[in-house]
Amino acid sequence: MRRVKLGYDVYDAAINRLVEVYQEGHTLVVSMSGGKDSGCCLELAVIAAEMTGNLPVNACIQDEEIAYPGTFEYVERIAARPEVNFKWFVCRQPMVNVFNRAAPYFWCFDEALDPEEWVRQPPWDIVTENPEQNIESIVHPKWFPVAEGKNLIDVVGLRVAESSKRMLGLVSSGGHLTKVSRRGGENFQKIRPIYDWIDGDIWRAVRDNGWDYNKAYDVMTRMGVPRSQLRIGPPTITIHSAEKLRMASRAWPRWFDRVCRRLHGVRQAAQFGSLVCRPRRRSTEEWSDTFQRTCIDDAPAEWIAERSIKLRDHFLDRHPRHSSEPFPQTVPCRECGGAGVASWRRITEVAFTGDPFSLRLASVSRTKFPYMEPEFFREGAGTWGGSPSW
């Protein structure tokens, strides 16, 4: 899809996109994360709703318990604004802690713990308890009623500048609005009003309009985090969070200590970085030996070994169909797996943590691996009720 210059700036374009769907009578809900992108979406929605007579703006958040200090304080300020109809959901859902290989899920505001062990307390006076664990259950017609014949539209702060996959997703859907699907018996779409914004557009809009924002960004900037890496998200959800945790241990030491007491492996991640989530090959080993040792023989949990065996057998069965050479140690086989990246080294790196959401396993092997349901790790925890998400 070629780029088209519209003749006006991205700020006006974003407002026009929101005004259009407001004028059509749809119900819009801003999904808040506490980050800069969703914050800008909320401010733009307030402008568009005021222009079309649709105040207050619907907004919501799924409380994840653990975020950099300043994040939930910012969201509380948003929730107190009269022009915002805010729903603060506590779902007690599982979240991923990639730094604990054996038990990669922890439960937000875990009822099995003493509340004093939680990293923080939610604002109970405005909380809505939601028993469903999947994040899709919060932007839902039961919470935000939809007029007959109209759509429920989730306003998300996706920007394609952050990821080529996001760009491809936008292109496949044909524009800033996704294709219509069904949710709770109603038509459902997502709108990405700031998809074409870059980091500079975000901060210029905040500065020029005097918008409120998450002050954790100021702390991160003072701690030397580059502007391109100023992202607010669950701090244990990817191995790339390790460097940010090291920064957080210096910026917010009391908060960091509470997180370390709450979650196994976080302190080691801050000390040693992403190495704690990566397999280490011994000098006397081939990568196939490292795979056997780290992912099967010495795996900290049986479920990791089982998934590793399935991945190994998949490639050992697939590779001989198109090659007489052994499955490669490091140089990827261009016929095996997704994106031509299959080798013993690659599948060792992917299988090492077990990948409970099956995101990397599926992309490498081009085959479906079942994701790990919460019920597997805790009896009575239930299932995701859809694709696992957060």
Tell me: the pLDDT tens digits for 10-63? 999 999 999 999 999 999 999 999 999 999 999 999 999 999 999 999 999 999
- Please list the residues that pair with 188 across neighbouring strands: 152, 181
Quick one: 181 and 291 in the same domain?
Answer: no
Q: State the residue for tokens 């994701």.
A: 371
Of the pLDDT bands very low, low, confident and very high (cuts 50, 70, 90), residue 373 is confident
Quick one: 292 and 185 in the same domain?
Answer: no
Residue ranges in the chain assigned as alpha helix (H): 10-23, 36-52, 71-79, 164-173, 199-209, 216-222, 242-251, 253-262, 266-272, 287-290, 302-318, 344-351, 359-365, 374-377
Domain boundary among 174, 191, 208: 191
CA 334/CA 340 separation, integer angstroms = 4
Rg (CA), the chain: 23
- Per-residue pLDDT for 320 more than 80? yes
Q: Each residue of 326-367: pLDDT tens digit?
A: 999 998 888 876 555 689 998 999 889 888 887 777 767 666
| Average pLDDT of the chain to the nearest whole number | 90
Q: State the residue for tokens 């694709």.
A: 387
On the CB side of 340, CA atoms within 13 Å amount to 3
pTM, entire model: 0.88
Q: What percentage of residues in the chain have a pLDDT greater than 90?
A: 64
Q: Which domain holds residue 311?
A: 287-377
Q: Determine, yes or no, domain membership for 382.
A: no
Q: What is the mean pLDDT of residues 80-84?
A: 97
Q: Determine, yes or no, domain membership for 94.
A: yes
Of the pLDDT bands very low, low, confident and very high (cuts 50, 70, 90), residue 202 is very high
| Contacts of the segment 338-344: beta carbons below 8 A, 24+ positions apart | 338/362, 338/363, 338/364, 338/365, 338/366, 339/363, 339/364, 342/315, 343/287, 344/286, 344/287, 344/288, 344/290, 344/291
The pLDDT, as a whole number, for residue 287 is 96
Q: What is the mean pLDDT of residues 126-132?
A: 91
Q: What is the mean pLDDT of residues 78-107?
A: 93
- Per-residue pLDDT for 136 more than 60? yes
CA 125/CA 62 separation, integer angstroms = 15
Domain boundary among 191, 211, 243: 191
CA 196/CA 158 separation, integer angstroms = 9
On the CB side of 158, CA atoms within 13 Å amount to 19
Domain boundary among 125, 160, 191: 191
Q: Which residue type, as a one-letter code, is found at position 302? A: E
Q: Determine, yes or no, domain membership for 353.
A: yes
Q: Each residue of 264-303: pLDDT tens digit?
A: 999 999 999 888 889 999 999 999 999 999 999 999 999 9
The answer to whether residues 188 and 180 touch, using CB atoms and an 8 Å cutoff, is yes
The count of structural domains within the chain is 2
Q: Each residue of 145-179: pLDDT tens digit?
A: 999 999 999 999 999 887 777 777 777 777 899 99
Q: Determine, yes or no, domain membership for 260.
A: no
Q: Determine, yes or no, domain membership for 90.
A: yes
CA 266/CA 243 separation, integer angstroms = 11
Quick one: 298 and 185 in the same domain?
Answer: no
CA 252/CA 110 separation, integer angstroms = 23
